[in-house]
Structure 1
């Protein structure tokens, strides 16, 4: 159980760090701003973040007028330096669903839940074996107590089963 908990915590903390870096690089909210529409080489879907504070001029083909518009922070645009855009709309929409601020909030909540689950495991061990007796099943030394909190940790960990380093034996029943 200790290996699972350490791996799970490290994985969630890694996601949190990455989301904070993404939010700093391209603050949200992220939006799918559509295709560039200038030809087959630039039909990628573009994702932008919050306004940068700068403005630019945009030509509207329908009204034939130029309008001053805010410059949005690039996430994945048709500019090569910004990642070149996203070639499938479904993929672009999914990227937008992964807002850094939402990932940050989710990771913080998951780490708090993990702390509660670990605390419950520790409390159950103390009840079952007495304070200072250590965790585990006395019939199987080195094995954790398999109570409700262990069940919750395993189910929680299954949500990360496709991540590098995951060991399926951690969640086997």
Structure 2
């Protein structure tokens, strides 16, 4: 059995290639803000490890200045799930991963981390996946997932 034949191993194949990214991020996270900051960016993704994962490079054009970041996604065929690791160019290290799967065209991924010194639960949602577009959303929870605050949305358009 090859990794490509394991259910779920090709879930992120839609992401391979080059994209323009329209970002929206809450001005202040976990503070009750409803003000969104909008900015642009680009992303290029490619498969790695013979299809067991993928890697993307991002240019994020925040109003305060542009920076680079990347993502490593790895599929574990034994567990049938993905692990996603973010690397922010402003503080280059692997962030805590989120883990999950796709069901009915939506990818849902959860992880544990801290934000401004307090423990949080993180959720990533991949949705609205089409040949030339996709949507990603990040949300934080301070109550173990009982409630969520969406705080970053990326709308992808294929270049």
| Range of TM-score over shorter length | under 0.3
Query: Which has the greater radius of gyration?
Result: 1
Higher strand share: 2
| TM value normalised by structure 1 | 0.24
Higher helix share: 1
